[in-house]
Amino acid sequence: MSIPLDLQRTLQIKPMGQNQGVMVVAPLMPLTPQELEDLSQRLSGMSVIEQPIDRQEVLQYLRSISGSLVGSSFDKDYSASFSSMLLEAVQASASDLHICRMSNGERSYLRRRIHGYLQTPVIMDESIARRLITWVKQKADLDSSEHVQPQEGRFSLFGDGVTIEFRVSCSGQADGEVMVIRVLDPRRKLAIDTLTPNPALVEHLQKLVKIESKQGGLVLVSGPTGAGKTTTLAALTSALPLDRLKVVAIEDPVEIRTAGVDHLEVNADQGLGFAQLLRAVMRQDPDVIIIGEIRDSETAEIALRAVETGNWVMASVHAGSVLETVYRLTSLLPDGYQRLGRMTVQMRLHAVLNQQLLPGTDGRELRVEALFVNSHERPVPWYEPGAHPSKFSTCSYFPRP
């Protein structure tokens, strides 16, 4: 009697043969009593014992049987329930799912992030957590026999008449493994008029994205991690006149795809960082360049030089306020470009949107501080001591509610 391939992959075991009516297996990690009992039942009651061998030998064997599970009973047994669990999280407006599998006897669990907050953990048996992680790895075309090295991938599910994408990141940790699944629901794309309840601010945003000149412009979206900068950039991007503009987005990774936009993804392993991709894009006659994040001096300089040559650049920056956003960007500029770079910012900056997720009546609400430069006849006095956006006569300022 043999152990089905799907069960070998799920339990991460290498069969070592039978000895006097007992099935001997070499596990990558010690099996739980429940897993041993389940395996015995699948083998018609045959006793099962574990025989530890070199971990690399088990890993090599598991890799050799990878790709053999399409249409297997494992999929039939677990795929429907795991898919339903993920789609239920989508319906609950979860942005992320955190799975923690503990192998030291502590409780494994799953947590959902909704409206920016992690919810109460849902306790799981270690065997179920392992099966779930294995299933997700298989869906994302990752190595399910690897439990230590970090891995990233993505997969999609169809539900409620739409295809939902999931981005996966997993790695080993002390006494277990962690996996985070980012939900990329295309229905979550925000229109400009849903970014803020302030009608005057909405009007300024709508005028901003018309882009009727080739004189170059700079739009910055800032805020802390998890504040929705990517979503705001996507909303602005989808509102651009895409029928007459060539728009290229450089992201790490691509999260929200917009029809009519060329999406390029950063790949550090291949030497394709923001700066390298930005240089390449500059030779492709773009009108608008979307930069997922400006976080180094090289990217900052190339972005501003693109503005100088007539391109519009919309980019995100990690900063806590409108003014801090400008200071952050200019502080990244290399010494030899500081003076010209600051001049470009002063003459070509069109808007800064700083956003935060703050406690509201229903979870957390997006609060926006915004500054729109109405005229470029006079440089904006960013560097005057005690400068405050409300005092800039050439600007429209919207403080955070």
Write out the DSSP string of 238-281: HTS-TTT--EEEEESS--S--TTEEEEE-BGGGTB-HHHHHHHH
Q: Output phi, psi for 134, to 5 deg.
A: -60, -45
Average the pLDDT over 136-162 and give the result.
Answer: 87
Model pLDDT, residue 95: 87
d(CA 26, CA 16): 7
d(CA 88, CA 206): 34
Amino acid making up residue 104: N
Model pLDDT, residue 312: 94
For the cut 90, the answer to whether the pLDDT of residue 184 exceeds it is no
The three-state secondary structure class of 97 is: strand
Within 8 A by CB and 6+ apart from 160, the residues are 87, 90, 91
> E-strand spans in 294-363?
312-317, 349-359
Lowest mean pLDDT among 76-80, 127-131, 176-180: 76-80
Model pLDDT, residue 68: 43
Model pLDDT, residue 74: 44
Model pLDDT, residue 20: 85
d(CA 179, CA 182): 10
Mean pLDDT, the chain, as a whole number?
85
Model pLDDT, residue 70: 38
Model pLDDT, residue 58: 81
Within 8 A by CB and 6+ apart from 291, the residues are 250, 274, 278, 299, 303, 313, 314, 315, 316
Model pLDDT, residue 67: 47
Would you call the peptide bond into 241 cis, given omega within 30 degrees of 0 as the criterion? no
Average the pLDDT over 233-258 and give the result.
Answer: 89
Picking from 211, 184, 208, the residue whose alpha carbon sits closest to that of residue 195 is 208
For the cut 60, the answer to whether the pLDDT of residue 396 exceeds it is yes
Average the pLDDT over 164-178 and give the result.
Answer: 90
For the chain, counts of helices (H) and of strands (E): 12, 18
pLDDT tens digits, one per residue of 36-69 = 888 888 888 899 999 888 877 887 787 776 644 3
Lowest mean pLDDT among 68-72, 98-102, 152-156, 171-175: 68-72
Provide, rounded to the nearest whole percent, the portion of the chain with pLDDT above 70. Answer: 93
Model pLDDT, residue 323: 92
Average the pLDDT over 165-194 and give the result.
Answer: 86
Model pLDDT, residue 34: 79
Amino acid making up residue 328: R
Model pLDDT, residue 72: 43
